[in-house]
């Protein structure tokens, strides 16, 4: 059984964007998605206040879970340790789509620590920014309403000029939108650019050690 868990956050990605990436990954990996859980609970809520989520995960064993990134589970490090421990105890296989890595009971501790360290660095960097939109967040675009159409056009191998004419929009603005959202990679499932081993090494190599 393959399930998808999506939790949007204004400082990261919307539910729709996460789903596009996950669908692209699922196509590339030949997964059939059996269930989808979109959780609109605030990121400020601790895990003990999210009974619907914990009940959902605890009701299943030995399933494949697709999530965009670890922050989807929680941005609280204590809760993240608890959630990941329980998921792995229940023999979940967790695919982290953004990094193209897979967590299971057999995963190395370094891989898990690397993913947690990346989240820690992200949260620290965001906390230092007092003004403006936090780095990593994406503002809404007028092209968002055309997202599914754009992806279909890309799959049909239409040029940006053709797409712009069909949508009656500016070619240059549309080109910027496609590139910033990596929609060509989403459309063709080519976000997965590394082998599993290489992807794990990249995550581990991002761990920072204080001097």
CATH number, domain of 9, equals 3.40.50.1390
DSSP-assigned states of every residue in 142-192: TTGGGHHHHHHHHHTT--HHHHHHHHTS-HHHHHHHHHHTTHHHHHHTTT-
Give Cβ neighbours of residue 92 (< 8 Å, ≥ 6 apart): 57, 60, 61, 62, 63, 64, 65, 103, 104
Quote the tokens at residue 98: 């953004």
**Contact in structure between 130 and 137 (CB atoms under 8 Å):** no
Give residue 98's domain range.
2-138
Is 124 a member of any domain?
Answer: yes
State CA 24 to chain mean position distance.
11
pLDDT value at residue 135: 45
Is 104 a member of any domain?
Answer: yes
What is the torsion angle, in degrees rounded to the nearest 10, for the CA atoms of residue 114, residue 67, residue 131 and residue 49? -100
Is 108 a member of any domain?
Answer: yes
Q: Which of 27, 39, 40 is nearest to 151 (CA)?
A: 27
Is 89 a member of any domain?
Answer: yes
Is 107 a member of any domain?
Answer: yes
Kindly report, residue by residue over 74-107, the tens digit of the pLDDT: 989 999 999 999 999 999 999 999 888 999 999 8
Q: What are phi and psi of 130, to 5 degrees?
A: -95, -25
pTM of this prediction exceeds 0.85: no
pLDDT value at residue 196: 59
Task: Check residue 134 and report its DSSP letter.
Answer: P
Kindly report, residue by residue over 3-43, the tens digit of the pLDDT: 999 998 877 788 878 888 888 888 888 899 999 998 888 87
Mean pLDDT confidence for 64-71: 94
Is 100 a member of any domain?
Answer: yes
Count of domains for the chain: 1
Is 205 a member of any domain?
Answer: no
Is 208 a member of any domain?
Answer: no
**CA–CA separation, 4 and 19 (whole Å):** 9
- pLDDT above 60 for 211: no
User: Looking at beta carbons, which pairs linking 201-207 to residues 24 or more positions away fall under 8 Å?
Assistant: 202/99, 203/99, 203/101, 203/111, 203/114, 203/115, 203/118, 204/110, 204/111, 204/114, 205/114, 206/114, 206/117, 206/118, 206/121, 207/110, 207/113, 207/114, 207/117
């Amino acid at each position: 059984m393959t399930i998808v868990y999506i939790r949007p956050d204004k400082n990261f990605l919307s539910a729709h964007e996460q789903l596009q990436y996950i669908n692209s990954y699922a196509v590339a990996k030949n997964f059939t998605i059996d269930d989808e859980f979109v959780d609109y609970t605030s990121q400020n809520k601790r895990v003990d206040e999210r009974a619907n989520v914990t009940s959902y995960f605890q009701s299943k064993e030995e399933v494949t879970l697709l999530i965009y990134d670890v922050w989807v589970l929680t941005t609280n490090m204590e809760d993240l340790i608890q959630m990941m421990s329980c998921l792995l105890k229940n023999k979940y296989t967790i695919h982290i789509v953004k990094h193209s890595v897979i967590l299971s009971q057999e995963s190395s501790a370094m891989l898990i620590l690397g993913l947690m360290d990346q989240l820690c660095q992200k949260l620290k960097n965001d906390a230092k920014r007092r003004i403006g939109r936090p780095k990593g967040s994406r503002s809404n675009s007028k092209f968002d309403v055309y997202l599914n159409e754009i992806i279909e056009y890309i799959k049909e191998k239409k040029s940006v000029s053709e797409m712009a004419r069909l949508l009656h929009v500016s070619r240059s603005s549309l080109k910027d939108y496609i590139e910033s959202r990596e929609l060509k990679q989403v459309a063709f499932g080519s976000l997965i650019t590394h082998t599993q081993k290489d992807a794990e090494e990249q995550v581990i190599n991002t761990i920072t050690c204080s001097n």
